[in-house]
């Protein structure tokens, strides 16, 4: 059974750094792109970027380029999303999801990680 399990909720202050994780299991982790999606409170889904764990080829939405870093450790089947300096506007639910077929769509999703940034 394919599963993506994300790390738990985080409460941070503005300016702090953060790295959240997404562990894949039940499939060949290195054979599927893993993407990240933001959902701000009461809003829609926004594609942030995606990574191919086998070679760590990462691609970003222009809206998120330079704002976050996507990485992966294929030895432990885990993808990451990190911020070096959080802002209050980063408060959102973040989902990881597995690409179903060559950068087309997401077939499996993680449960989401809620990030709250508040002073």
Partner 1 sequence: SYELTQPPSVSVSPGQTARITCSGDALPKQYAYWYQQKSGQAPVLVIYEDDERPSGIPERFSGSSSGTTVTLTISGVQAEDEADYYCQSADSSGAFVFGTGTKVTVL
- Does 50 bind partner 1 (CB under 8 A)? Our answer is yes
Could you say which of 46, 54, 69, 74 contacts partner 1 (CB under 8 A)?
46
To the nearest whole angstrom, how small is the minimum distance from the Cβ of residue 60 to partner 1? 9
With residue 88 as reference, give the H or E element that holds it: none
Could you say which of 23, 67, 74, 112 contacts partner 1 (CB under 8 A)?
112
Q: How many CA atoms lie within 13 A of 7 on its CB side?
A: 13
Query: Is the CB of 15 or the CB of 105 nearer to partner 1?
Result: 105
- Does 59 bind partner 1 (CB under 8 A)? Our answer is yes
- Does 111 bind partner 1 (CB under 8 A)? Our answer is yes
For 31, phi and psi rounded to 5 degrees?
Answer: -100, 0
């Amino acid at each position: 059974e394919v599963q993506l399990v994300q790390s738990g909720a985080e409460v941070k202050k503005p300016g702090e750094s953060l790295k959240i994780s997404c562990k894949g299991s039940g499939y060949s982790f290195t054979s599927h792109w893993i993407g990240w999606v933001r959902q701000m409170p009461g809003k829609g889904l926004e594609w942030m970027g995606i990574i191919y764990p086998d070679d760590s080829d990462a691609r970003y939405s222009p809206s998120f380029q330079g704002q976050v870093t996507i990485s992966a450790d294929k030895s432990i089947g885990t993808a990451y999303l990190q911020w070096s300096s959080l802002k209050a506007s980063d408060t959102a639910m973040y989902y990881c999801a597995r690409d179903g077929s060559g950068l087309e769509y997401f077939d499996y999703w993680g449960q989401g990680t809620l990030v709250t940034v508040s002073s």
